[in-house]
Amino acid sequence: MLSWERWFTAMRPERMTELDVLPLKRFFLIGFRWIAWPLPVVLGVYLLSACGAWAEEPDDSLPSSVVLEGEVDDGLTTPGRLDPKRAMAAEIEIQREIEEGRIPNPDPWEDFNRRMFRLNEQADVYGLEPAARAWRFITPRILRKAVDNFNALLLMPVVLGNGILQLKPKNAVQDIARIVYNATFGLAGLIDVATMVGIPQNDEDFGQTLGYWGVPSGPYLVMPFFGPSTIRGTVGRLGDSAGTYYFSLMPIWATFMVRGIELVNLRARFIEEFDENRQESFDYYVFLRDAYLQNRRARIGRARGENEMLPGAGEDLYYFDDDEDWEAEDSETQAPSGTPADQDPPDTAKAPSSDRSSDDSN
């Protein structure tokens, strides 16, 4: 995109006039120069620390890493501390399930993702979350709501554009009406008048548009600082940044302020949720991954007009085995004498054939 010459020029605005660039592009370059210097440094530090985090195995501090003879391994130890034989068996088991197609593996890059996830967690715990708490402490609820509304209006071009890309004229009309209402009666977006008069807030982004046109999600990917995504989601995010092009026309500090406040404000809404999820989940990484993938799948289903989850999509989730076994279990509960160890091994051959259709995760 940028030649090296332009890269350096971007960092030396006094040379800008030497280049014959269009005004619009010049705006971009001027905006770019502010992040041109720190960008490689930040990325470099980030990747280096990612390698560092990988080398240091951060769960070392857990006290239960030594499993005493006869004591039950409570699963709180790191996977790395496992008896290698059992670890191997577990790998084989998981691999087998994946090969049988029962589990679509949405996360082939788990090692990398977990590292990125860990760093994002650190960034959140030491940066974003304290900021969000402070923000919530100093602002009244109504102001936070106004910020939410304002940001929703700022992002409306993205929603509108994607509605058009998905050939949904009704949505596009709704979006335009929403922009008009909120920008005028809503005092430049501070008050959500459109919702009051019954214009729905559509939920569209370029990732959904890609999904709408049948682009597969690709592997799960945790982006540094941006959190859970997939390949498609990443491309979608880049596409959406075109919808907020006007950010590059603002001075860079204004962009950072607007987006920063937006982020902190959003985070402040979910402080308790994050705490609870972290505390309660058994594997927060898996929890977050599954929640993200399922939520995206549902939203793309909605974008496709399948309103809710596809009928039959949960076939494998809700009926993983043949019926007779369930009935047998029922009778067993009435007379609890049967020894489950004697029961038939799980019959994988009878897996419902609709498995495949439910595999297209996002």
Which residue is associated with the tokens 């922009």? Answer: 179
**Which residue's CB is nearer to another protein, number 5 or number 99?**
99
Which residue is associated with the tokens 């009406």? Answer: 177
**Which residue's CB is nearer to another protein, number 30 or number 82?**
82
Site membership for another protein, residue 14 (CB under 8 A): no
Site for another protein in 37-96 (CB under 8 A): 72-76, 79, 82, 86-87, 90, 93-94
Site membership for another protein, residue 20 (CB under 8 A): no
* Shortest Cβ 87–another protein spacing (Å): 7
Cβ atoms within 10 A of the Cβ of 252, count? 15
Q: Which of 279, 335, 349, 353 binds another protein (CB under 8 A)?
A: 279
Report the 3 state secondary structure along 304-360: CCCCCCCCCCCHHHHCCCCHHHHHHHHHHHHCCCCCHHHCCCCCHHHCCHHHHHHHC
Site membership for another protein, residue 353 (CB under 8 A): no
Site membership for another protein, residue 259 (CB under 8 A): no
DSSP letters for 164-221: HHTT-HHHHHHHHHHHHHHHHTTTTTTS-HHHHTT-------HHHHHHHTT----SEE
Burial class (CB in 10 A: 0-12, 13-18, 19+), 44: exposed
Virtual torsion, Cα 263, 264, 267, 269, nearest 10 deg: -110
Half-sphere exposure of 212 (CA within 13 A, CB side): 21
* Shortest Cβ 66–another protein spacing (Å): 15
Site membership for another protein, residue 36 (CB under 8 A): no
Q: Which of 3, 333, 335, 353 binds another protein (CB under 8 A)?
A: 333
Token digits of residue 347: 């019959």
* Shortest Cβ 290–another protein spacing (Å): 5
* Shortest Cβ 73–another protein spacing (Å): 5
Contact 64, 76 (CB under 8 A): yes
Q: Which of 299, 304, 355, 360 binds another protein (CB under 8 A)?
A: 299
Site residues (vs another protein, CB under 8 A): 72-76, 79, 82, 86-87, 90, 93-94, 103, 201, 269, 272-273, 275-276, 279-283, 286-287, 289-291, 294-299, 301, 308-309, 311-312, 314-315, 317-321, 323-324, 326-327, 329-330, 333, 336, 338-341, 343, 345-346
